[in-house]
A and B are shown apart, each in its own frame.
Chain A
Amino acid sequence: MTLDVAIASGKAIFMILIALQVMAFGVFFERKVSALIQDRIGANRASIFGVAAFGLINTLVADPIKFLLKEDVRLAGADRFLHALAPMLAVVPALAAFAVVPFGDVLEIGEHVINLQAASLNVGILYVLAMGSLGVYGVVLAGWASNNRWSLLGGIRGSAQVISYEIAMGLALVGVVMTYDTLDLQSMARQQGELIWGWLPAWGILYQPLAFVIFLVAGVAESKRIPFDLPESESELVSGFFTEYSGAKHLTFMMSDFVEVVLVSALVATFFFGGWQVPYLGREGFVFPGGGTIALASWVVALLQITSFVLKLVFFTWLQVVIRWTLPRFRYDQLMRLGWKGLLPLSLANVMVTAVVITATDALS
């Protein structure tokens, strides 16, 4: 009993640590990759004993300290309680969604076989969508509680945008669910360990390429970053829904954005890129299609899988930062047209085609 609780909380803490560590990478990319794209040097001033570590000290030590030490402005006419609650409502659901994301297969310690997933729910995907839909309250409330028209506009834009893109996102996942015949993310990741024609890892991208594109676009829209940053819209709304936030609360909103970026990365990796899978790595070690095998201990396998998962997260976080610094912002009508007239019909078509293909394959075999 006690051991079970310890294992469960250990897994949850480990998953959150992965998420926050990759988020730190995201922040670092945001500073340095953007600088490379714009032909600048980027953060390089802050250093500890002369060690700037390519701006790591700047982004991961100096910036947070600066934010935490800034004045927490008390607004006149604002709703204090909701104003303070909003950043927490933005970040908590995003972190909670990581509970169902698997970060490895199993770890065998003695006779204990630990499933490397914080929570195994039979409604896995729906839980993620539920948490995603709760995240919008942070934006809406921040917009309303600030007693500022720019914030209110940003909050209303945010809620309309998130609800619109949730539909395309959910429908894209219907195709994924049909392919794997399960809602559990761990089972999806395991199925991606199979091989097509004996050598090609059966990653989801091969079965659902369109769903991948729709999901990634909708995911970027959900994290409210350029090119979908209408709720923030620096050039029109000052800073949108978090115009009136300073210090730690402002930092929390920025953090929630990056946590959502990492969450989208984790989901993209799990649904379409094998999650924690390393090609040809099974529970007993590597089994290559040519016939060679390398036997490995369970903890080595788990370690390789976790590393693979984290590397995939870092890659997709980097990809989203590059997207953010490459594209200009959509106009509001373009945003809505893309969501409702572009992604939604495409995702419906994807569901139809997937259904036809699955039925045909079943009928033939």
Chain B
Amino acid sequence: MSAWLFLVLAALTVALSLVVVLHRNPVYSALGLVATLVVLAVFFVGLDAHLVAALQVIVNAGAIVVLFLFVIMLLNLRVEARAVPSPVLAGLAGLASVALAAGLFYGLGRAPALPGPAVDAGYGGTLPLAERLFTAYLVPFELTSVLLTVAVVGAVALGKKAVRRG
């Protein structure tokens, strides 16, 4: 990925993330999140991680945020009355953010450029990633699916009305 493309996309990501946080309408916030996720997927493509990019769009943008929108629409949330933070707090938060950004720029600017680990061509493709997933990381991978199943069962158990007996 060329430096110019990276800069443009990075600026876009930051702008879209700001929409998520700052917009007063929750639907726009959710859409900002979708757009942020899609742009992040473009970054993954730039890093040759095509599978991660596709999964990012399918799972996060395509399924999870749709459900966010679903809830927002069902609750019929419109423009939120924003809780105005005290000016002191807002000022402090602003200062802290600027200090953090400055620290990051300074620190990263001084850090020596480390060479990344040597990887084969196409290492982010489906086949290499799937091989790792089904050999080295098989147990965590399967445990995650158990965790998700448990979460679904729990959600159904909580959401279900009491069963009338007899």
Contact = CB atoms under 8 A, between A and B. Distances in A.
A123 B50 contact: yes
Give chain B's interface secondary structure class.
Answer: helix
Interface in B48-69: 50-51, 53-55, 57-58, 61-63, 66-67, 69
A134 interface: yes
Interface in B25-49: 27-28, 31, 34, 38
A163 B57 CA distance: 14
Nearest to A184: B126
Interface string A98-139: 000000000000000000000001110011011011101100
Most buried by A among B31, B66, B125: B66
B61 A134 contact: yes
Contacts of A122: 50, 122, 125-127
A184 B76 CA distance: 42
Contact of A183 (B57, B67, B126): B126
Contacts of A137: 31, 34, 66, 69
A7 interface: no
A121 B54 CA distance: 11
A295 interface: no
Contact of B62 (A121, A130, A160, A183): A130
Interface stretch (A151-159, A204-212, A216-224, A316-324): A151-159
Best-buried of B34, B54, B61 by chain A (most CB within 10 Å): B54
Query: Which secondary structure characterizes the binding site on chain A?
Result: helix
B85 to A, nearest CB: 27
A166 B57 CA distance: 14
A160 B62 CA distance: 12
A142 to B, nearest CB: 12
A143 interface: yes
Given A82-B27, A122-B50, A140 B70 contact: yes
A340 to B, nearest CB: 12
Contacts of B53: 123
B73 A155 contact: yes
Contact of B54 (A127, A141, A163): A127
Given A123-B54, A144-B27, A136 B73 contact: no
Q: Which of A79, A133, A152, A155 has the most CB of B within 10 A?
A: A133
B143 interface: no
Contacts of A155: 73
Contacts of A141: 27, 31
Interface in B87-141: 122, 125-127
B61 A123 contact: no
20 contacts: A82-B27, A122-B127, A123-B53, A123-B54, A126-B51, A129-B62, A130-B54, A130-B57, A133-B58, A133-B62, A140-B69, A140-B70, A140-B73, A155-B73, A156-B74, A159-B66, A159-B70, A163-B63, A163-B67, A183-B126
Given A133-B58, A159-B70, 18 more contacts: A82-B31, A121-B50, A122-B125, A123-B53, A123-B54, A123-B125, A123-B126, A126-B54, A127-B54, A130-B62, A134-B38, A136-B66, A137-B34, A144-B73, A152-B73, A159-B69, A166-B62, A183-B126
